[in-house]
Amino acid sequence: MPYCIIPDDHTITAFARRIAAEQIDGALRGLSRGDRDLAPRIHEARKAVKKLRGLIRLLRPSFAAYRMENDALRAAGHAIATLRDAQVMLITYDAMARVAGVADPVLRQSLAARITRAETPEILAAAVQDFSARMAAIRDRSQQWKVKGAGFDALEGGLERTFAAARIAQRAAARAPDDPEAVHTWRKRVKDHWYQVRLLCPIWPDMMQPIVTAADTLGEVLGDHNDLSTLIAALPPGPNTAAIVQAAQARQTALRATAHPLSRRLFAGPPDATLARWHIWWDVWQDG
């Protein structure tokens, strides 16, 4: 089933339990397959974790188990993060090396070695086992989750919190453009919003889908910015490092120039105005 609310979700509790079961079951099935190409399945498993964290942030004010489950999902995601992070860093390095006109096999090999260290069979097996055990435990608990309230009222607090946090994070990043952590925080709040509007897209797809698309685009732009920050921090000293850093920083400047106006449009106005419209759309969808 899709990652969104459906008419068969007769309560918000049923909605939460269904999404949790589907995401965890899919992630565990993927990781249990016996083929050798594990990296794409690890990527899909991490996406499942992020989707679930987006879900419970939507429920947060109405979900007493939020903090415990958020911590559990964070720990599960960290268990399989190393391989993907190392691969993304190498891809980002290659792109910036091309822009800078740098060919430095020694520097590249120092970054590629991170992948070699991260993907030994023993490390991968242990990481997948750890992740699977953590997610299976969350799966068991999820079928006992309880969400207070009914309908849109149970979701409105989480939506408002995320919307307001994204606006605040964008302004903080505008004041500190050279602070990678400020941009990273901004990206996380945008991603939260993206997951939440995906979950609510059926209430009026013609209106919600453009919001989903804009939030996805903004999240990707800020994700590229974060990848560049990670690369800059990881580069060892060397004769070509400065040229790559300069190329990366120039690219970050261009990304911020795209991200700020998009974010201001996406999160324009106070959240209560947006949520009032969405509440009406929800009611019409329920009546339909």
In this structure, the chain runs to a length of 288
Calpha distance 93→110 (Å, rounded)? 11
Calpha distance 231→235 (Å, rounded)? 6
Hey, what are 184's tokens? 């990273």
| Tens-digit pLDDT profile for residues 29-71 | 998 876 667 778 888 999 999 999 999 999 999 999 999 999 9
**Site of tokens 């953590």:** 134
Calpha distance 115→234 (Å, rounded)? 14
Calpha distance 203→39 (Å, rounded)? 35
Calpha distance 155→19 (Å, rounded)? 15
Hey, what are 175's tokens? 């004041």
Hey, what are 223's tokens? 């994700």
Among 104-113, 117-126, 220-229, whose mean pLDDT is lowest?
Answer: 117-126
Would you say 244 and 102 are in contact if contact means Cβ atoms under 8 Å apart?
A: yes
Residue 96: pLDDT band by 50, 70, 90 thresholds? very high
Hey, what are 58's tokens? 């939507």
Would you say 193 and 163 are in contact if contact means Cβ atoms under 8 Å apart?
A: yes
**Site of tokens 């009611």:** 283
Widest pairwise Cα distance in the chain: 66
Calpha distance 224→171 (Å, rounded)? 19
Would you say 190 and 54 are in contact if contact means Cβ atoms under 8 Å apart?
A: no
CB within 8 A of 106, min separation 6: which ones?
238
Would you say 227 and 92 are in contact if contact means Cβ atoms under 8 Å apart?
A: yes
pLDDT surpasses 70 at 23: yes
pLDDT score for 279: 98
Give me the mean pLDDT over the 66-78 stretch.
96
What is the gyration radius of the CA atoms in the chain, in angstroms? 20
CB within 8 A of 45, min separation 6: which ones?
27, 30, 31, 80, 131, 135
More confident residue, 246 or 126: 246
Residue 121: pLDDT band by 50, 70, 90 thresholds? confident
| Tens-digit pLDDT profile for residues 156-192 | 999 999 999 999 999 999 999 999 999 999 999 999 9
Give me the mean pLDDT over the 277-281 stretch.
98
How many H-runs (helices) and E-runs (strands) does the chain carry?
11, 0
Instruction: Calculate what percentage of the chain has a pLDDT beyond 90.
Output: 80
Q: Which of 140, 155, 132, 151 is nearest to 56 (CA)?
A: 155
pLDDT score for 21: 98
What's the mean pLDDT when you consider all of the chain? 93
